[in-house]
Structure 1
């Protein structure tokens, strides 16, 4: 029989109370959880930003009437620059007149014109779409086409109907991004 432990030795009293112990067999550690797959966080943010801008562009699309003003500005264009564009303070480096063109012809001409303007690194161009008063209806088709195409293009930073001396609501000044 083991000797009587000292009354003050708590550890010895505990060992006496529980009796002999045997160690547990060693076991392997539980398997670690698999690490999550890496995500392209910046790409997701870019996609969300692009989708947000696209949806804002769609929300802005409404049928324009003959006298309505075309106006659009990307967030990266400072308001002061946009004000200069609205006032016609930018010199148009090239011009496209869509008078007399069908919708399909006008869209093709417009896309080709913008691509060439971008290739020549023009900063500002003027597009004459007409007011649509001769069409008989209240919706000018060329004006609405120009509005839709310009909003979809990544190289278009901003646009606004020209001042009265430069064509008024029958023309639009377009600010283009440089390469």
Structure 2
């Protein structure tokens, strides 16, 4: 849009006139007088909006209930794990393993922890050295948790705090076992 500095286009003058009428003038001043012919001009790029005489009422809505994603660990629990207030009952390090080796070790580790009624464990995947900056295990382990052998055991997971490995580790919450027979 090219126009001379300090000059308003016809549409801008009409719009400014409407806005100026909604403001309370300074004591001793009056509203500027805009020619009535300008009021009839409609902006070409926007449809005309109805003029409001009173501000919209603010309504208070009740906050939506927080839906907890079952894959993730809630914030308070994550904070307790990070600060050491909740015990990490076991840890497994998958560094330097192939996906097949890591998958077998991880499922056996999680099954043993689940059978021993452990609640939280730490899975160290490493950050990886691929060109994209994210390792194969770091990407794969969360996907594995959604598959059948892990889904029955894993209740949730979340990236670990920096003190426990940060982006290269995961806190894993194991499901509680049903009543023993």
TM-score range, shorter chain: 0.5 to 0.7
Equivalent position SS for 2:100: helix
Quickly say closer, same or farther: Cα 1:135–1:102, change in 2 above 3 A.
same
State how far apart, in whole Å, the 2-side matches of 1:73 and 1:123 are: 18
Aligned equivalent of 2:95: 99
- Do residues 170 (structure 1) and 165 (structure 2) align? no
User: Which structure is higher in helix share?
Assistant: 1
Residue 151 (structure 1) aligned with residue 146 (structure 2): yes
Task: Give the superposition deviation at 1:162.
Answer: 0.6
CA distance in 2, matches of 1:137, 1:165: 24
Distance in 2 (alpha carbons) for counterparts of 1:90 and 1:148: 25
Could you tell me which runs of 5 or more consecutive residues in structure 2 were left unpaired when the two chains were aligned: 1-67
Q: Report if aligned partners of 2:124, 2:169 keep a CA contact under 8 Å in 1.
A: yes
Task: Report the TM-score when normalising by structure 1.
Answer: 0.52
Q: Which has the higher contact order (CA 8 A, sep 6+)?
A: 1
1:118 aligns with 2:119: no
- What is the Cα-based RMSD across aligned positions, in Å? 2.1
Give the CA deviation at 1:154.
2.1
**Residue 90 in 1 paired to residue 82 in 2?**
no
Structure 1 gaps of 5+ residues are 1-71
The count of aligned residue pairs is 103
Distance in 2 of aligned mates of 1:154 and 1:73:
16
Q: Secondary structure at the match of 1:158?
A: strand
Contact 1:128–1:167, Cα closer than 8 Å, also in 2: yes
For the pair shown, which has the larger CA radius of gyration, 1 or 2? 1
Aligned-partner SS, 1:96: strand
